[in-house]
Amino acid sequence: MSSDRLISALGADHEGLRHLRRLSPRAAQRCEWPEWVPDRVREALAEQGILRLWPHQAEAATHAFAGRDVVVATGTASGKSLAYLLPVLTEAAAEGDGRTLYLAPTKALAADQARAVAEFDAPGLLPAIVDGDTPYEHRRWAQRFANLVLSNPDLLHHSVLPRHRRWRSLLKNLKYVVVDECHIYRGVFGAHVALTLRRLLRLAAHYGAEPTVIAASATAADPAASLSTLTGRPAEAVTADASPSPGASVALWEPETIEIEGEPQKASTLSETARMLAALTRLGLRTLAFVPSRRGAEIIAADAKARLGADPAADRIAAYRAGYLREHRRDLEADLREGRLLGVATTNALELGIDVTGLDAVLLCGYPGRLASFWQQIGRAGRGRDEALAIMLAKDDPLDTFLVHHPEAVFDRPVEASVCDPSNPYVLAGHLCLAAEELPLREADFRSIPGSREVADDLCERRLLRRRPGGRYYWVGSERPEVSLRGSGPMAVDIAETSTGRLVGTVDAAAAHRLVHRGAVYLHQGETYLVDDLDLDDGLALVHAAKPPWTTSPQEITHLEILGTRESLDLGEVALCLGEVEVTSAVISYQKRRIPSGEVIDTQMLDLPPQTLRTVAVWWTVEPEALGGVKDLPGALHAAEHASIGLLPLVATCDRWDIGGLSTAAHPDTELPTVFVYDGHPGGAGFAEQAFRKWTDWLGATRDAIASCDCRTGCPSCIQSPKCGNGNEPLDKADAVATLGVVLAAEDENAAVTVHDPRPEPAKSEEDDLWPGDF
């Protein structure tokens, strides 16, 4: 059936269809095997039906074989594995000493690779998975004999590097390090992985090896620079995708607006996705629905089944997510591959390299947050010569609403680069301690990371490191520092059931005050709990299962101090700045809101200590005289701040949840109406900086998103924020549009950016003002 007829079948009157884009088919290019690939390897691959290569595979493999770090950044199903496996298989076939460490961001992906490699029956190859589940004996075998160790950065960080003497044989002979799906390593997590890789390369060099890094990435802007940031070394990039594609029709869809109590509201994206999944399954089409949450995936699968009723197709729908048993997931993958299952609702667990392609249609329940993910998910559709169908359904938030009304921002925009900042002192300090404990630091170790020498000297002052005559830095702390690559770290708060002590989950300390304060209603994987007590000293929240007819929202006050301005842009009545700030916030009370009306039924005070965060912010100011027509200035700034946080993922590779904000009609440091947007991680993660560099795109999209929203006075699609610390008050939609208009009108292409002293003395403010903040 053609995509047009399918789309007609999905929405009889095309009510929700906002845009339809045809992606043209692409014919495959072929090339011969590089001369250096031995016959034994070609024969093993031919057994698997691989007779020739696509040029991007040969080019990337040849760079690696010649010892040059390389990243291959091409689309889904473009055979990236073969690009990195060719040199690895060649080394194994030659029965050389060279060994390979393969790193995947998830255990599931490493397992999938191991399965694929096992099918090759490659001469001389001895692969072994090493992850948290690997028994001691298997690990010992891998240490001594495996020439392809498949693992993940967490295991490298927690187990291999601290016990490097046991892994000496691997490190001494390390010839290749494969970094799969490397676009996943961004933000603070990316900085941690970058420093872990540098620790690996440093130890390998100590044992006498100089491995070549081969990376695979989704399509991304400037992948060579991203890989260089991860490794601290120059890299080549191969980006011309020569694999075939049958073409696709991609639809942008907005769930219809319905009137509830006189206010227009969007139909639920979940139920709209379930409706489409049921319809496509009924037509016998293999369909994958990508859903942002595990719970959402379960709901959509159940809802789609229910819609099919007695239709036998109902039995061919399932949910897929992390957290299922490994065997269960392997069964689901096989059922989907072989066509026993038709419709699967999945989290992004199926977005990564796991071998599920050849589908007829893909549904995206909401924009996945990044163009790289968008293309990765869309790329799952397409079988043989048949054109694929992909539909993205907008969620009820400012970014999704903007995108379905601005298809050029989806289709005609370069994919974001993966940004991370390994010189973030907050991330760097822990890794310098670990590195020094593994092997004393030398002067040369500081070269590839700006500012690392200063951080090391600071650690000496704190008596964690000691600099000996001769210039080496030694670890002298008593216990090896605990550093978690994925953020939550030792400060995490455990959530346990009061009556049984059963562990329900964990939240990081920064979020605990807002999510699990005494009296909070806490949602975890579809279950609702009431918090009995939060003990910050023990890092423990006690809860019991309950279903009260209300939700809770924390009330927060925030103080923000500008410590220094790194760069600024003077546009007359408007100014834009980037710099260091200190944010102090305290959760002071919480509101109980009735379900579903949201009416406030009670406010309870809390007694929680303030928390501080030193980070990087972007802020803009505007002279009050320029805002003549604006009546509700605090409401205008607050609304503009909310929407701009929602739109920031358009210009930076962050999630809305990585960002905080604050707006005020007069800030003591600027003495002007000011809106701040800051990175929610200590030391910053590079997001505010992206916003500063692309401020006209960012604030222009913010204004358009608010102005084009159908609502009258503001809704979750434009100016309301699910994480407002002040109950979404005050907010003024029309004045926000007017204010952003004034700011954007000040744009001056000739305005020069002033670069200030990068780390000036903190500016002291006398007043002690507190405002509602958003985090």
Binding site for Zn ion (CB under 5 A): 709, 711, 715, 717-718, 724, 774
Amino acid letter, residue 551 = T
DSSP per residue over 308-373, as a string? HTT-GGGGGEEEE-BTB-HHHHHHHHHHHHTTS--EEEE-GGGTSS-S---BSEEEEES--SSHHH
Q: Smallest distance from the beta carbon of 718 to Zn ion, in angstroms?
A: 3
Q: Which is nearer to Zn ion, 239 or 401 (CB)?
A: 401
Burial call 43-64: b when 16+ CB within 10 Å, e when fewer: ebbeeeeeeebbbbbbbbbbbb
Q: Smallest distance from the beta carbon of 717 to Zn ion, in angstroms?
A: 4
Q: Which is nearer to Zn ion, 669 or 774 (CB)?
A: 774
Q: Which is nearer to Zn ion, 396 or 679 (CB)?
A: 396
Helix/strand number for the chain, H first, E second: 23, 31
Q: Which is nearer to Zn ion, 607 or 729 (CB)?
A: 729
Q: Residue 134 has what DSSP assignment?
A: -
Q: Smallest distance from the beta carbon of 593 to Zn ion, in angstroms?
A: 15
Tokens of 77: 């199903």
Tokens of 726: 């002040």
Q: Please provide residue 475's backbone torsions phi and psi, each rounded to the nearest 5 degrees.
A: -80, 125
Q: Smallest distance from the beta carbon of 643 to Zn ion, in angstroms?
A: 9
Q: Which is nearer to Zn ion, 554 or 579 (CB)?
A: 554
Q: Which is nearer to Zn ion, 361 or 399 (CB)?
A: 399
Cis peptide leading into 38, omega within 30 of 0?
A: no
Q: Which is nearer to Zn ion, 259 or 766 (CB)?
A: 259
Q: Answer whether 72's CB lies under 8 Å from 60's CB.
A: yes
Secondary structure class of 556 (helix, strand, coil): strand
Report the DSSP beta bridge partners of residue 664. 674
Cis peptide leading into 105, omega within 30 of 0?
A: no
d(CA 433, CA 717): 45
Q: Smallest distance from the beta carbon of 722 to Zn ion, in angstroms?
A: 10
Q: Which is nearer to Zn ion, 391 or 711 (CB)?
A: 711
Q: Which is nearer to Zn ion, 172 or 656 (CB)?
A: 656
Q: Which is nearer to Zn ion, 200 or 711 (CB)?
A: 711
User: CA nearest 655: which of 775, 745, 759, 740?
Assistant: 775
Residue 468 CB coordination number (10 Å): 9
CA dihedral 62, 65, 68, 74 (to 10 degrees): 50
Q: Smallest distance from the beta carbon of 711 to Zn ion, in angstroms?
A: 3
Secondary structure class of 180 (helix, strand, coil): coil
Tokens of 305: 């089944």
d(CA 638, CA 706): 13
Q: Which is nearer to Zn ion, 542 or 715 (CB)?
A: 715
Q: Smallest distance from the beta carbon of 603 to Zn ion, in angstroms?
A: 17
d(CA 368, CA 67): 36
> Who's near 606: CB < 8 A, 6+ residues apart?
517, 518, 519, 587, 588, 589, 590
Q: Smallest distance from the beta carbon of 675 to Zn ion, in angstroms?
A: 11
Amino acid letter, residue 308 = L
**Is residue 326 classed exposed, middle or buried when 0-12, 13-18 and 19+ CB atoms within 10 A define those classes?**
exposed
User: CA nearest 193: which of 477, 465, 420?
Assistant: 420
Alpha helices per DSSP H over 177-244: 187-206, 223-231
Q: Smallest distance from the beta carbon of 48 to Zn ion, in angstroms?
A: 53
Q: Answer whether 87's CB lies under 8 Å from 61's CB.
A: yes
Q: Which is nearer to Zn ion, 389 or 731 (CB)?
A: 731
Secondary structure class of 541 (helix, strand, coil): strand
Q: Smallest distance from the beta carbon of 723 to Zn ion, in angstroms?
A: 8
Q: Which is nearer to Zn ion, 350 or 643 (CB)?
A: 643
Q: Please provide residue 28's backbone torsions phi and psi, each rounded to the nearest 5 degrees.
A: -75, 145
d(CA 753, CA 732): 31
Q: Which is nearer to Zn ion, 343 or 634 (CB)?
A: 634
Q: Smallest distance from the beta carbon of 364 to Zn ion, in angstroms?
A: 22
Q: Which is nearer to Zn ion, 66 or 600 (CB)?
A: 600
